[in-house]
Structure 1
């Protein structure tokens, strides 16, 4: 024991393997989209007025990404003590930037997003008017288990100042870990647009520029969609001499204005009095936190709530700098008392005019002041807000006056719209009412049976209790009917939406065909003009013109595809060639199959007898299968992407069989029984959010059942992915459907 004691130290310390860096990054940064967002947040936290996210050939092996901002940059001390320290608490200790922004980067591990994006990163950072620093990081060096994390060094060099002496940081990312796709670019753009409130550029001069050679339609300044989905936008101005002007714009475009003098707005103000706060301006966006307000916007309720959780409240900006703590979601200071007003008036918007109040978490608003125009709005000595003098109370009074104007006008509009609605039969409320009445009657019967116990024979009491049981049973059936009605109403709304989309597709198909003809005609006129250009410019111009024509042909093909799906011959039941009917939609998808590197394998039987059917029914089955396969094949490596379609005919049973299989991710065993249910969907986007209507396979099953057929599914068929087998009898009895012609 003595020998052992002499050989061991008095204490032990943890050692950190280099692989910890990768484990931390990949554990906390779930996707390349999240990684880019973290780096953009870092630029925001560096007080940048602009950050540019640049992609070049990012779908290929040699692609790269550049993220450049014009923020404050870093000197050597900050680079060493903050950026190179993993998990720093800098943002907890200093939650606000020099310009008053609330820092939005998380956990102090944003730099690990670089490892999630690429194998090599070069950081170049400059303070204003000074030499800069260039740090090069090879992330593959952290893939080993040997050694200590802190033993791995990275080349650091001094570089000349930026042109013009500007500050900022640029990240060059090469050896990308992911091959970016159009869906990835779209998802990233969507998330970038949600990073800032709709008027952030006006507030703190911050904008995001997206520059992508493979998604030119998305390139440019990223616009926030949140301004467009606000129910109301209020712009209020107060002049130095007391003129008040409110302009309220509803989402529909309706504009209402209110103009009055200071003394006309408040009873306790004399005619000659002027606001002591000085001239003011504020902008307010009012949002409904309901799914119904987002229909047709492309914004999910979760995204709206995330946005409001970050930016709700009424903030104050002086000379473009935040005055804390006003409007800070983390502060419990409801400085306008909006939530207290809401508690005192809990009624809904349908209450009497003047009795509804909005809540603080429904508004995103900012007030703009300056030191020159608003000298009496002074900071407290502890810098935690404004001195609560007369100027402060006048500012508060003015803002609340604008909010009250919005509240009144919203109630007026609601009552006007409600008066226009035609009376309708409210099935579900009626079911609820009747069920509640039956439950009350059952309770009364039980009470009566108890009260009469001993007065009548036991048999009479048992009869009352049996009646109460039957009444409760009927109430239970009504409750089940409520649920069924609700589900069917939801499905009906989706079906109506899809039908409307089909009508719109046909209309746009005609319009598209005319427009494309015009484009192609003018393209032909341009060709001779290109001969007059210098050789190097002519080649580039011809390449662009050929690309334009190619895109136009694609649009033309999809426009024709929409028209073909609803042509009259497809809506007529007749003897059809099953193989030809299957091949028709598959040919329309040839371009998409090729661009997604999906190999289509056909094994269509010869000499099939004709099938009496509606062609659009068979095409609908194939289209639903193939669009589902596209999603299922997304995670499959390009060389392994396959779709198999076969036909056969069983002469003994007089049955057609169509088999559709893919090499995608397949269907989980626990989902096999649910895939036919309306609204059930296993599709998710890059961020793991559910997508799709959940009606595709429901429609397929309904069509097959109309033909007295059957469908079988294997979660993992002979290609590894889902495999469907459709059986259709040669002779069948089909129920006629409205809208089909014999």
Structure 2
């Protein structure tokens, strides 16, 4: 009972290979806090008898007493620990042994009796103690560690258990070994047998991990490097993350109400889910299998210590939102973080053992946990959005539009209707409404084309901004060297300056042509065009930029004519973005002969095969088709902050879909390949 002893710091592993808790030497003050008198009996294998130790903490508060004058009672007693246990408690132990079918060995152990209590213990306080004790140790430890509570001598004992639910919609488990995050993702939300086969023929459900066989799999396994999870290549930042040390994180998501089952093919949820989450929700930290309070403690300021509610409130979108940016709420989940005194030495407990010091390692740990949860979020949002797209097209929007168009044609053609006059007026009103929607749609399409063109212009300008800065620096300064060359009649210098002028002016002309032409009104009209000629013209406009960037484009066409009514600006958006992406990929690679190959073929469809010989997709993309998601980018600064827009490939995908076309990646390593098919 010596204050400030650090034996646990030096000898932190017990004989049973458990990690001892505490190292400050002040935990014993908890005895003084609870009551004025403490009597302790303890027996170890090394001692020949049971030790009895008793102290009156109030003695330290008596006036005139010196510390060295106060002594505790210490003696050896002949009674065993089991004999010292009160009979009422022995009876409860027998009941417990019968329940767990295991005999509890009391040949060694400790009994602590605290009297002269400093607080009045009400039923509410006792219930709070029980709630806290439920989470003191994780469930997997409860086969060999039992906590029982008896509220009074007359009441029965209670075995305190941390009852976890087998019910969940999603579960994610991550093990960080100091280098990589091994992720196991479990989906339990969808009734796969009730999902129509047509759903899995949709393009969004033909990719891993969203195929039917992936839905049927019990567990999906992924491995993320630190660089991939944190979107950074900064070696110093990665080293700081490694300093966190290895840990395990388990998290389950449970929605709080049933969704439209016929739309999203959800399973029914249990009726007691809300009550269970109220009691067990939140994310708790366990260090060496003991709960670090107050993290995840309901009612405390640290219940939502990851800030999940604030994160959700900042962007409270539906799970089926077009942005696919849905996030979990703290009230919808339960999680457990397992850390260790040995492996996570940089994550430090406060001296009171109530909480963890908010140092850099702890902040990085919180960031890692949120990024792990976001893997679950992205998966669920992608699936819900895909179901919504399918449902809108098959069951609602397409059917409504077709019926409305037929009614509009019938009514506006002047055909007589045998129904009542009132019904006819309603039909005429419906027909006009459909026409209004069509007009609004055309306006929106025009606006969309303009915004798409402006976005593409911005991407082009960003990709060549370095070259523009170089030319800008020469715009005024090039005059004086030219004047000197002319005055000195230096023909070689004059020729060199003229060549530089021509080269830079051609580059500027190409950029200005792209920027000014793309927003022309006639390009936002649907006109019948030879698509081969349109694509060739697009490549020719970019030629000076390609020369400046030392990129060769090989355009291969068959002898067919691919004609269709198109918006020219749409095809400019597709190919400008593809070529600019290749240029940026070349700038990051060591490729000397930079080549782009565009092959055009026609059968029932226009088939475009695009291929460059850069390095391919960044390995940060676990699913390569993520590049077509709005906001998905591989462009980050050294600190992991997003600097890309995530618009380029999204514009390509959305444009192709507008023409009822499809696309697939044909190469993602040692080059980038994309096949586009558009019906003619």
Q: TM-score, normalised by structure 2?
A: 0.32
Rg bigger for which structure?
2
Higher relative contact order (CA 8 A, sep 6+): 2
